[in-house]
Amino acid sequence: MIEKPTKGKALAVRKVQSAYLQIAEQLRDLILQGALQPGEQLPSEAQLSANFGVSRNTTREALRVLSSQGLVQTSRGITGGTFVVIPDVSFVQANIENGLGLMTAGEQISEAEILETRLALELPAARWAAERRTEQDLDRIRLAARSVERGKVLSERTDHSVDFHQAVMEAAGNRLMAVIAPPVWRIFAHCAKSSPGRPHLWHDIDCDHAEILDHIEAREPDKAEDAMRVHLLRLRSID
């Protein structure tokens, strides 16, 4: 006997996205996969609408989504059109920093987790900096370290400390890490500025910077990494 299907049985289905979101997603994939290159002009709204079989209003909404994500920009005039955005490091970092700032303020990320992330990024960076640094890298690290020492208040020292760690990160030669790390530092720095700080620790921090610099200059990767670890763990005492 054939069993009849149960009426009203719930099916595992996915909600269909709006047409403009589907178009935006497809165009986003093409951009991120490199099929549409930075600076390249997209087809006109009329061409895109014909390709996707939708109205120009739907296409326009899709392009607005991509624009809000920082993937395309539209210009007017004879030479105007919609173009894939040429990557800008500061724009990328600002978006990361804004997101991390909101998550920290909403207690979705803790200061302890920020410190752990710094350890994950900066220990190998110190090692690689010792292996790869140039004389120009050393000059920049020295300048930043001196600026930290001259700081009279916590906010000044914190700002220059970011410069010191950025100089070490760039000496490491990993461009992706150099993009990712600054937003993490700035959120960490914001937390540090909101606390009174302990001036008696400033001398120790200056000594940490000097030791890290010495090991990078001497091309001592193990010691540079160890010195960075000691320094970052000391920062837990600033609050």
Residues 6-33: tens digit of each pLDDT = 566 666 656 678 999 999 999 999 999 9
Sign for the pseudo-dihedral over CA of 128, 134, 140, 142: positive
The pLDDT-based confidence of 51 (bands split at 50, 70, 90) is very high
Q: Is the per-residue pLDDT at 173 higher than 70?
A: yes
DSSP state of 237: G
- Greater pLDDT, 7 or 207: 207
Mean pLDDT throughout 80-98?
91
- Residue 94, number of CB atoms within 10 A of its CB: 14
The pLDDT-based confidence of 203 (bands split at 50, 70, 90) is confident
Which amino acid makes up residue 220? Answer: E
Task: State residue 156's pLDDT score.
Answer: 83
- Residue 176, number of CB atoms within 10 A of its CB: 7
Domain boundaries, the chain: 19-84, 89-237
Residue 114 near residue 186, CB atoms below 8 Å: no
Residue written as tokens 């087809």? Answer: 43
Q: Is the per-residue pLDDT at 82 higher than 50?
A: yes
Angle at 236 between CA 157 and CA 223, to 5 degrees: 80
Task: State residue 98's pLDDT score.
Answer: 92
Return the structure tokens found at 104. 């920290």
Q: Is the per-residue pLDDT at 239 higher than 50?
A: no
Task: State residue 120's pLDDT score.
Answer: 95
176-to-93, 165, 170 alpha-carbon distances in Å: 11, 15, 10
- pLDDT, tens digit (0-9, with 9 covering 90-100), for 104-134: 989 999 988 999 999 999 999 999 999 999 9
- pLDDT, tens digit (0-9, with 9 covering 90-100), for 183-201: 998 888 877 655 555 667 8
Ramachandran angles phi, psi of 225, nearest 5°? -65, -45
199-to-8, 149, 196, 203, 238 alpha-carbon distances in Å: 70, 12, 9, 8, 9
The CATH fold assigned to 89-237 is Four Helix Bundle (Hemerythrin (Met), subunit A) (1.20.120)
The pLDDT-based confidence of 77 (bands split at 50, 70, 90) is confident
Closest CA to 32 of 68, 71, 61: 71
Q: Is the per-residue pLDDT at 87 higher than 60?
A: yes
Closest CA to 46 of 36, 38, 37, 57: 57
The CATH classification of domain 19-84, taken from the options 1.10.40.50, 3.30.390.50, 3.40.1190.20, 1.10.10.10: 1.10.10.10
